[in-house]
Structure 1
């Protein structure tokens, strides 16, 4: 069991997603964890403390001054007990309190009193998630080391569709398990002194001043690779299309919109890079002639003419002195065949292929699985969190990169 004898403190705040927490508790326990639950008053309106006590096997905590706790100081007892503090759901209100250091209930007091790592699983209306205040709060929490999983995108209880759904319980448990696995095997400083450029997210191609075409890429895989590469000692430049997630700390972020903008940003600095990782989902085509005014609705068929976008990965690999290149192939069928063809056609060093037709993996998910192909090998990386997958992928990349450098020296 992945969480054998780990002490998981679960904080539940008052959002509709709280109804998922009994299942979350069960899944933590199934992985061997000891679980204690602390609830806000509003959380009790959405899920029964009795139900949570039944599945956890422990008394539910809510009061700052618990007469049954050690010296009536329950917040200190629980703060010391926890190996990790998971707040799920984390409402916009709780995130704001954590950001500003408020401690007006047991949950927020524990966040200040514990030395354990904190993980938040945000859950709120999509407009609240997109609000500038929430974005600023999230950035501050991330810079303090608070970890975040989700939110996911989809239908919400209010009827809206968008980002704000709490990540599913099994993915939260996997995230925590991956964290402890990573602590036991910290990412080694394999890329100290190296410069790595990573592209991530989708591109948007304008159809007129108000419309565009794009794809489902969330940028999560590219951002996870950027975070892992930075922790492995690299100087990381992240060239990103429009996404709804924040860049990892200490990473140079270049934000772009279109494929042409991404191409230009990459090519400006590519000669300074040791490694190039093309994780972005770049549009293959753009409108040949973009109207200057909004296209009005009319009867009949609207015909649009498209022209190819620049192939960023191919342009990088075709340099006179190219960096080590790792491409991505997101496919829905014949995954390996298409990936091998792309590897050979574009003269890449490596390619990582994933099946985006699989439910719960790839686009918009916090988990993924990859098949990594080189000229002489094929290695499967099983489904796990994107951050843990990024670490394993970069370990493989380092082996191939080191071998390529040794081959250059021997010539």
Structure 2
């Protein structure tokens, strides 16, 4: 954190604003230069003079109050910040920022800054659980914002539950730990290609074959690889996910599309992680008009699709190749067989018969096997945390 001395603290209008005073003081005590921006609502809870005294810097509350005629204040602040913390972040602030509004000093500065932004929400437990708030949090996460989860406890409204602003010491610890992790970039300069999501194989203009893959695991792997310094290309089947920041996304539909997209880029890659659930078969005949329903049963002839992973295993020279195996029986044995058969350097085995792991879930648990004989078990947790542990294992093997 030696190079990140400038902290921009955004304070919005919630009762937890009083904790932002302690946060400011503790940041200053740890050697940070802190500047505070307050929303109009925040000034109803805490006087700006308090933050000025604690930070020893001017406090900004009005986008039209230009303190230095030689500079545009919100641009100057945005460029000055090494990192930005929003604490407390109310539901109202989250909604405005997620929708790109710039109607006060804080939101205008947030649109202009390129620094990492850490969000510490604070609100009533039911507000935090509202679909609109969840949607806004998801949007901000897709923008690259990082979150410091609220704690459980007694809230000012009288409820007991999740929504309490995390304690200042914990906020600082999370920020410093995350920044330290982000400064570790073992994949710096590496070209990484990740496949994700399902493929779709049309029967006619109405019907198609696909699978349950949501793409969440592959997207998490791509995001973490980018965080670790890689130049990432994400080849994705049809999914409803936002592209992680700073990643090149290539959208495909069929197994053949994915084959072409991956093979045409393979020679330029250092690492390929094949997390997509690619169709093994496609209808032999695809109709350009709707097939009308008829009496009796229908038999469709299926043709084998080209095996992308096997083709990559045959074509690889210096590339490190990682496959996935979604299994329901003899998961480890089948994973090892697949790794050997397809000439992989490592394989991630996913037992999709278990609860809360596999397709469409937000959590996962996997077994990582390498051709050097290593076996790493990654327990059930969020898919991003699984991706972090996966890359930690793989980078030691390469």
TM-score (norm 2): 0.64
Paired residue for 2:204? Answer: 208
User: Residues 370 and 12 (structure 1 numbering): CA distance in 2 closer, same or farther, change over 3 Å?
Assistant: farther
State whether residues 269 and 319 of structure 2, in contact with CA within 8 Å, keep that contact through their aligned partners in structure 1.
Answer: yes
Paired residue for 1:302? Answer: 298
State whether residues 95 and 138 of structure 1, in contact with CA within 8 Å, keep that contact through their aligned partners in structure 2.
Answer: no
User: Residues 189 and 308 (structure 1 numbering): CA distance in 2 closer, same or farther, change over 3 Å?
Assistant: same
User: Residues 67 and 396 (structure 1 numbering): CA distance in 2 closer, same or farther, change over 3 Å?
Assistant: closer
State whether residues 66 and 72 of structure 1, in contact with CA within 8 Å, keep that contact through their aligned partners in structure 2.
Answer: no
Matched, 1:193 2:189: yes
Paired residue for 1:244? Answer: 240
| RMSD after superposition | 4.5
Describe the superposition over 1:226-263 as per-residue Cα deviations: whole angstroms up to 9, x where unpaired.
11111222221111111111212221211100111000
Matched, 1:382 2:379: yes
Describe the superposition over 1:111-153 as per-residue Cα deviations: whole angstroms up to 9, x where unpaired.
89xx96127989659xxx8xxxx9xx948x844x32489xxxx
Q: CA deviation at 1:207?
A: 1.2
Describe the superposition over 1:282-323 as per-residue Cα deviations: whole angstroms up to 9, x where unpaired.
111100111121111222111111111111011001116262
Report the 3-state secondary structure (helix = DSSP H, G, I; strand = E; otherwise coil) of the residue aligned with 1:249. Answer: coil
State whether residues 313 and 343 of structure 2, in contact with CA within 8 Å, keep that contact through their aligned partners in structure 1.
Answer: yes
Describe the superposition over 1:167-203 as per-residue Cα deviations: whole angstroms up to 9, x where unpaired.
xx89xx9xx9998764453362112222111101111
Please give the alpha-carbon distance, in whole angstroms, between the structure 2 residues aligned to 1:183 and 1:306.
51
In the alignment, which of 249, 257, 260 is matched to residue 261 of structure 1?
Answer: 257
Report the 3-state secondary structure (helix = DSSP H, G, I; strand = E; otherwise coil) of the residue aligned with 2:322. Answer: strand
Structure 1, gaps ≥5 residues long: 1-8, 14-34, 39-61, 150-168, 402-411
Please give the alpha-carbon distance, in whole angstroms, between the structure 1 residues aligned to 2:230 and 2:359.
26
Matched, 1:64 2:47: no
Please give the alpha-carbon distance, in whole angstroms, between the structure 2 residues aligned to 1:65 and 1:84.
12
State whether residues 214 and 283 of structure 1, in contact with CA within 8 Å, keep that contact through their aligned partners in structure 2.
Answer: yes
Structure 2, gaps ≥5 residues long: 1-9, 19-38, 61-83, 122-127, 149-161
Describe the superposition over 1:326-349 as per-residue Cα deviations: whole angstroms up to 9, x where unpaired.
001122232212111111111111
Paired residue for 1:146? Answer: 145
State whether residues 13 and 40 of structure 2, in contact with CA within 8 Å, keep that contact through their aligned partners in structure 1.
Answer: no
Q: CA deviation at 1:96?
A: 5.4
Please give the alpha-carbon distance, in whole angstroms, between the structure 1 residues aligned to 2:339 and 2:260.
23
Q: How many residues align?
A: 314
Paired residue for 2:341? Answer: 345
State whether residues 12 and 42 of structure 2, in contact with CA within 8 Å, keep that contact through their aligned partners in structure 1.
Answer: no
Please give the alpha-carbon distance, in whole angstroms, between the structure 2 residues aligned to 1:252 and 1:118.
26
TM-score (norm 1): 0.62
Q: How does 1:282-297 map to 2 (within 5 A)?
A: 282-297=278-293
Please give the alpha-carbon distance, in whole angstroms, between the structure 2 residues aligned to 1:296 and 1:37.
64
Please give the alpha-carbon distance, in whole angstroms, between the structure 2 residues aligned to 1:111 and 1:378.
44
Please give the alpha-carbon distance, in whole angstroms, between the structure 1 residues aligned to 2:364 and 2:11.
25
Paired residue for 1:117? Answer: 118
Paired residue for 1:323? Answer: 319
Q: CA deviation at 1:382?
A: 1.7
Matched, 1:357 2:353: yes
Matched, 1:280 2:309: no
User: Residues 280 and 86 (structure 1 numbering): CA distance in 2 closer, same or farther, change over 3 Å?
Assistant: farther
Paired residue for 1:371? Answer: 367
Q: CA deviation at 1:383?
A: 2.1
Please give the alpha-carbon distance, in whole angstroms, between the structure 2 residues aligned to 1:347 and 1:72.
65
User: Residues 91 and 101 (structure 1 numbering): CA distance in 2 closer, same or farther, change over 3 Å?
Assistant: closer
Matched, 1:219 2:209: no
Report the 3-state secondary structure (helix = DSSP H, G, I; strand = E; otherwise coil) of the residue aligned with 2:249. Answer: strand
Describe the superposition over 1:200-227 as per-residue Cα deviations: whole angstroms up to 9, x where unpaired.
1111111111221211211111111111
State whether residues 217 and 363 of structure 1, in contact with CA within 8 Å, keep that contact through their aligned partners in structure 2.
Answer: yes
